[in-house]
Structure 1
Amino acid sequence: MNAPLESSETSTAGNAAEYDFVVVSNRLPVDHVVDDDGATSWKASPGGLVTALEPIMRSNDGAWVGWAGRPDLDIAPFDNDGIHIVPVPLSAEDVENYYEGFSNDTLWPLYHDVIAPPTYHREWWESYVAVNQRFADAAAAVSAEGAVVWVQDYQLQLVPKMLRDKRPDLTIGFFNHIPFPPYGIYSQLPWRAAIIEGLLGADVIGFQRVADASNFARAVRRLTTSTTKTTTIEVASPGRATRRVIAKAFPISIDSRSFEELARQPHIQARAREIREGLGNPKTIMLGVDRLDYTKGIGHRLKAYGELLADGRIKVEDVTLVQVASPSRERVQAYMDLRDEIELTVGRINGDFATMSHTAISYHHHGYPREEMAALYLAADIMLVTALRDGMNLVAKEYVAARFDDDGVLILSEFAGASDELKRALRINPHDIDGLKEIILQAISMPKRERAARMRSLRKRVLEYDVSRWSTAFLSALAGVRGDRDTAESIDLIDDDPLGDLEWTVERVPRGTEL
């Protein structure tokens, strides 16, 4: 399951091949790599989604439809390490309009509570429609009769209906990895009804939080003639029988066991000690790990830390902040502006408070491999997750999984989906800078016994509800739709505890139902 897809042997396959399980996502599970000498190869993309679905793909004769990550790259389908890869080509114009434009400068800010203002352009929407149709056509072409197709994320919200119209025999799932906004925000989108109708083409629609599923249901009631009851939606289509759609929360997770196993490696623990020594062995290391995105609240945590230093409540010799901010969407203006703002703030704080032997903020504008991240998590006494809005935030779960020593403190924004599950974290409102400062001080002074008790509770949750359980729960719901629609539709999906939600789903799907 966890073996990487190295630069592997590939074999081309014709479009006539049909597969029983098809995943459709904006990006493929492998990256197209060009070496310095011009040689090309394929390498596994990191990420929990790939880890969760690899074994299912292999055991269910699976195909994966997605973009190879580079414009104007037209590659025939091929087999890679037991998975059939179906590349969908995007032109430079597609990338600019569909991906950087509509997906990331219209939908992303809108779905994240308009932290940054979304931009609406009709040509971006037209490109989004055209590219979604291209993905739907590619998926339909490789899907066997009655296949299960699982569509991933906000870039492809029109694909379920396009697939339904073209291939009504398919069982279709959709999972939204980012938040779904309240109707008062969502209603600003000029193409709001078309996207709701696109999503309703699926049989099961998954969200990160119960609140997201509720927001979606309200949009359905306001924008369509469909009716909703708890987590079922009755979709009436002209000339067709009424369909029932499930819309519920399936909180995603990580491959927590493999992260713990990595953290237990002696060389990772040695690297964690090296990191502390390189930072001057401060009493407390705080860590932030984020994509450089305006939704992550990086500026808020910098402000709180800077004020604590200025107030004299902490000393730079005692408390260091390490901020990893991996590059993100660097051609989008809002992200260019954010990088300038963050780097100016880091420079100002370091200029004001750093000494010859201690830096206030160790700032890194690049990503790190899993091994280095595991070492960072072990080195950090406090993990700061200050997201202003986040579908889940898997960094919080990675930190918990890595802390096999039952130490460390997680400070977690209540606006991250992970806060629904990780209830023993120190939860904060990142907009409340004074409150954030107090929580940081509480974390710094927390007794070891309390740290251990909190971390044990967090680890129990993260280790039990891992990414395999997430994918099993979703696919079980789809299997229920396929094998026993009455059972699948009767699942009670609105629950105060999203983890109980998962348990209920798995129990109610008939045993023996196969994908």
Structure 2
Amino acid sequence: MTGKEQTGDRSVGGEYDLVVVANRLPVDFSVRSDGGVDWQRSPGGLVTALEPVMQQADGAWVGWSGAPDLAHEPFDADEMRLVPVTLSQAEIERYYEGFSNDTLWPLYHDVVATPTYHRQWWDAYRRVNQRFADAAAAQAAEGAVVWVHDYQLQLVPKMLRDQRPDLRIGFFDHIPFPPVELFQQLPWRRQIIEGLLGADLLGFQRGGDASNFIRAVRRLTDYTTRGPIVTMTDEDGGPGRHVRAAAFPISIDSTRFDELARTPEVQARAKEIRADLGDPEVVMLGVDRLDYTKGIRHRIKAYGELLQDGRLDVESSTLVQVASPSRENVGAYQELREHVEVLVGHINGEFGELGHSAIHYLHHSYPPEEMAALYLAADVMLVTSLRDGMNLVAKEYVAARSDEQGVLLLSEFTGAADELAPGPVLVNPHDIDGLKDAIVQAAKMDPKEQRRRMRRLRRKVMNDDVAKWSDSFLGVLTAMPRRTSHV
């Protein structure tokens, strides 16, 4: 979907009752020679979740364009006001690739990789967060709701609160929040906590993440906590406003995936995929960003050992691994790609036969139609994350399986495991022997057992969709009292 810049007589700022603040805008755009804008909607669950709410509220979305030094005035697209935040190449390297993805990401994912701490990165993170906060404050009407998203912008709530105490501010953390024993490694731990406490409502994927945050508040601040509530202090040192931390598990546009997988074109493509793979008895599928948190190496190692043990063979089974490119300028990701490609090459070289590859490794991203066909073609979906806030791929697989067949093998370290059990086959991906046993169990599961499990999974995923998630969060946020009375 493409479009041209829309023009209107609305003033630039200060009139939007709902403002979303996220690292990225929901569109990719380019500036024409005449100064106008061409834009194309970018895919993503957050866009799908918030677009109807934004259009209904006539809201504004603050975010980075995704390209360095691309500056433009706010413009309208898809009935939303889009407010670009400009980042220089140096800021992208320090705020985004550096502090966000080489400091916070590994720290928040249980230090699967070692975090790097640089003061210059922190300085850039602070400056960029202030820029986002300033842009949001300029767009928000008196008493507006501002919803800030994810780990790149954890300082924004307090920065907004300092400028605009009239606002109702929510924050949603899309990734795990770490145990305080890990979090306190961060040299700027207190500043992050204070930044988040600028919000009225803090949303997390799992109850455990919300509890981790509350424990960090207790350990690192003097604020009073009672259950999920943190009581801030007012200017006189007395009790002030309340901050609530709670779980709001995110989901997908379940109906869209369900309808997509029912189309004749997608179903025909699923059969074509199986034929292209040599019509094996069992097709296993992994779909991940190429990220060290996803457990891709553990999955491939387990599969290779099953071939070596003779419990699986390449004539009757195959593994398709889709690994979308990710953060290719970060060293840890470059190393991961090399390691995975060497491992795949070794297993294919040792066990592959003419017409039968052990592993089909695809380092690409695919459109939703192709993903739906892959989900339909797969007998077993392998989700072996070492740590994952939610894992929406698991939910997409379930939504695509209206035939009530297929088996979801799911890491217990995903947010999805909290929501979907006991439908999936749960695994500890660090336990390679246990993972191997679970893969064999899934591959040989009786169709009646598959149907029983998939029906349970589908009831959950089809009911608790992404619209319900956004409505739930915004409903709680808007119902919260603006101020507490002094005691």
* TM more than 0.5: yes
For residue 443 of structure 2, what is the aligned residue in structure 1?
Answer: 444
Give the superposition deviation at 1:239: 3.8
Alignment check: 8 A CA contact 2:62 2:136 kept:
yes
The alpha-carbon deviation at position 8 of structure 1 amounts to 3.5
CA distance in 2, matches of 1:484, 1:100: 38
Deviation (angstroms), 1:485: 7.2
Unaligned runs of 5+ in 1: 487-515
- Structure 1 CA distance, aligned partners of 2:166 and 2:483? 15
Could you tell which deviates more after superposition, 26-35 or 94-103? 26-35
Contact 2:383 2:394 in 1 (8 A): yes
- The corresponding residue for 1:465 is 464
Instruction: Report the CA distance shift for 1:218/1:483 in structure 2 as closer, same or farther (over 3 A).
Output: closer
SS at match of 1:421: helix
What residue in structure 1 maps to residue 7 of structure 2?
Answer: 11
Amino acid at match of 1:86: V
Q: Is the 8 A contact 1:160 1:199 kept in 2?
A: yes
Residues 97-124 of structure 1: CA distance to partner in whole angstroms, max 9, x if unpaired? 0000000000000000000000000000
- 1:188 aligns to 2:179 (yes or no): no
Q: What pairs with 1:26-425 in structure 2 (closer than 5 Å)?
A: 26-32=23-29, 41-239=38-236, 242-423=240-421, 424-425=423-424
SS at match of 1:124: helix
1:20 matched residue in structure 2: 17
TM-score normalised by L of structure 1:
0.91
Instruction: State the SS of the aligned residue for 1:114.
Output: coil
- CA deviation after TM superposition for structure 1 residue 229, in Å: 1.1
Cα offset for 1:9? 3.6
Q: Which amino acid aligns with 2:284?
A: M
Cα separation, 2, equivalents of 1:151 and 1:460 = 30
Residue 479 of structure 1 is matched in structure 2 by 478
Distance 1:15 1:91 in 2: 23
CA distance in 2, matches of 1:285, 1:479: 46
The 3-state SS of whatever aligns with 2:2 is coil
| 8 Å contact kept, 1:76–1:87 | yes
How far off is 1:481 after superposition? 1.1
Deviation at 1:421, TM superposition (A): 0.9
**Partner SS, residue 3 of structure 2:** coil
Moved over 4 A (4+): 482-486
- Separation in 2, partners of 1:39, 1:74: 12
Query: C-alpha deviations, 1:406-427, integer Å up to 9, x for none?
Result: 0000000000000001111000
Output the CA distance in 2 between the equivalents of 1:74 and 1:14.
19
CA distance change for structure 1 residues 130 and 438 in 2, over 3 Å: closer, same or farther? same
- 1:39 positional shift: 10
Residue 482 of structure 1: how far off its partner (Å): 4.8
Please tell me the root mean square deviation across aligned C-alpha atoms, in Å: 1.6
Instruction: Give the deviation of 1:250 after TM superposition.
Output: 0.3
8 A Cα contact 1:161 1:202, kept in partner:
yes
Q: Is the contact made by 1:8 and 1:81 (CA closer than 8 Å) also made in structure 2?
A: no
The 1-side partners of 2:425 and 2:439 are apart by 9
Structure 1: distance between partners of 2:474 and 2:484: 14
Q: Deviations over 1:445-488 (max 9, x none)?
A: 110000000000000000010001100110011111157979xx
Does the Cα contact within 8 Å between 2:5 and 2:36 map onto a contact in 1? Answer: no
Secondary structure, aligned partner of 2:130: helix
Distance 2:122 2:480 in 1: 32
Structure 1 residues 33 and 455: CA distance shift in structure 2, 3 A: farther
Q: In the superposition, relative to structure 1, how do residues 376 and 485 fare at CA in structure 2: closer, same or farther (>3 Å)?
A: farther
For the Cα contact (< 8 Å) 1:209–1:249, is it kept in 2? yes
Equivalent-residue separation in structure 2 for 1:15 and 1:39 (angstroms): 16
How far apart in 2 are the matches of 1:476 and 1:233?
A: 20
Note the C-alpha offset of 1:142: 0.6
Q: Any conservation in 2 of the 1:225–1:236 contact (CA below 8 Å)? A: no
Relative to structure 1, the CA distance from residue 40 to residue 143 in structure 2 (aligned partners, 3 Å threshold; closer, same or farther) is closer
- CA gap 1:257/1:148 in 2 versus in 1, 3 angstroms: same
- Give, in angstroms, the shift of residue 127 of structure 1: 0.3
Question: What amino acid maps onto 2:155 in structure 1?
Answer: L
Task: Using the TM superposition, give the Cα deviation of residue 16 of structure 1 relative to its aligned residue in structure 2, in angstroms.
Answer: 3.5
In the alignment, the residues of structure 2 paired with residue 379 and residue 417 of structure 1 have an alpha-carbon distance, to the nearest angstrom, of: 25
CA gap 1:485/1:464 in 2 versus in 1, 3 angstroms = farther
Task: Say if 1:17 and 1:170 are closer, same or farther in 2 by CA, change over 3 A.
Answer: closer
SS of 1:252's equivalent? coil
Amino acid at match of 1:245: V
Q: 1:463 and 1:125 mapped to 2: Cα distance?
A: 41
Q: 1:39 to 1:235 in 2, by over 3 A?
A: closer
- Tell me what 1:491 maps to: none
Equivalences, count? 480
